Amino acid sequence: MVKAVAAVFVRKVWSGIQSRMLSAQADRVMENGEWEERWQEGRIGFHQPQVHKMLETNIDKVLAGRAHISFFFPLCGKAVDMKWLADMGHSVVGVELAEKAIQQFFEENNMTYSEEPVPSIPGAKVYRNPERNISLYQCDIYKFSSSVQGQFGAIWDRGSLVAINPRDREKYAALIISLMAKDCRYLLDTLLYNPELYKGPPFFVPDEQVHSLFGSSCDIERLLSVDALTDRQRSWGLDYFTENVHLITPKSN
């Protein structure tokens, strides 16, 4: 009895802390133009020159024995992970606002590319390297849909759910769910820190919210939780910084 009351109390306090933490960043908005400015000015501290450790470590769980998967990269930047997967024979579709990011991706990886308008998305362009089957769409992610390139067998979400504006998370999750094929394996990287100390991006996304965004239609498994605090986050004023990796799969009926 005392135990049960204590558990309810702990849950209440915890959810109170969670909602106060979420509200610390709820109204923060990065305009699309601010991202483009960052690319123009080379303020892209999020970019990593090596394949991301969390993708490398968990790749077998994403592939689950499958070959020639179509991978989706929301908010792709110029992630070298795209080339790594394409070199393994997978196809890659990315979506990115900044033209500069897409051009740098192909140029820095010594790949030629074609550039074409996208009939179904006014104003958008698609950049393709046909030899490696990489297609990068330059447009706002919310203009993309499964009618453009179908659904995907895998998704790698790093610097994406944590980068979109917090108020758009439901809309983003609905889009991602609509892009998942039945056998899709979605690897999601989230970050935990004290949002009262740093305004983001990247934004803080607690596991509880991952469950409220995806849990009704998907199974969610947390694969890893690691301390990722470095001098970069210390310079933002943070005292802890945790990286969580989730594997999200559509519920079978």
Min separation Cβ 95 and ligand SAM, Å: 5
**Is there binding between residue 133 and ligand NAG (CB under 6 A)?**
yes
Comparison of 95 and 205: residue with beta carbon closer to ligand SAM: 95
157 bridge partner residues: 188
**Is there binding between residue 50 and ligand NAG (CB under 6 A)?**
no
Min separation Cβ 6 and ligand SAM, Å: 40
Among 22, 55, 92, 101, which residue sits at the site for ligand SAM (rule: CB under 6 A)? 101
**Is there binding between residue 91 and ligand NAG (CB under 6 A)?**
yes
- What type of residue is 175? L
First-to-last alpha carbon distance for the chain, in angstroms, is 37
- Locate 230 and state its tokens: 């470095």
**Is there binding between residue 172 and ligand SAM (CB under 6 A)?**
no
Strands 152-157, 70-73: pairing is: parallel
Comparison of 134 and 164: residue with beta carbon closer to ligand NAG: 134
CA Rg, the chain, in Å?
A: 19
Q: How far is CA 13 from CA 16, 17, 47, 130, in A?
A: 5, 6, 37, 54
Residues 6+ apart with CB under 8 A from 148: 118, 120, 121, 137
- Locate 46 and state its tokens: 């999020």
Identify residues 35-94 at the interface with ligand SAM (CB under 6 A). Answer: 35, 46-47, 75-77, 79
Whether the CB-CB separation of 235 and 172 falls below 8 Å is answered with no
Number of residues engaging ligand SAM in binding (CB under 6 A): 19
Among 24, 98, 173, 180, which residue sits at the site for ligand SAM (rule: CB under 6 A)? 98
x/- track of binding to ligand NAG for residues 60-79 (CB under 6 A):
----------x---------
Q: Is the peptide bond before 202 cis (omega within 30 degrees of 0)?
A: yes
Chain positions contacting ligand SAM, by CB under 6 A: 32, 35, 46-47, 75-77, 79, 95-98, 101, 140-141, 158-160, 163
Which residues lie near ligand NAG (CB under 6 A)? 70, 91, 109-110, 133
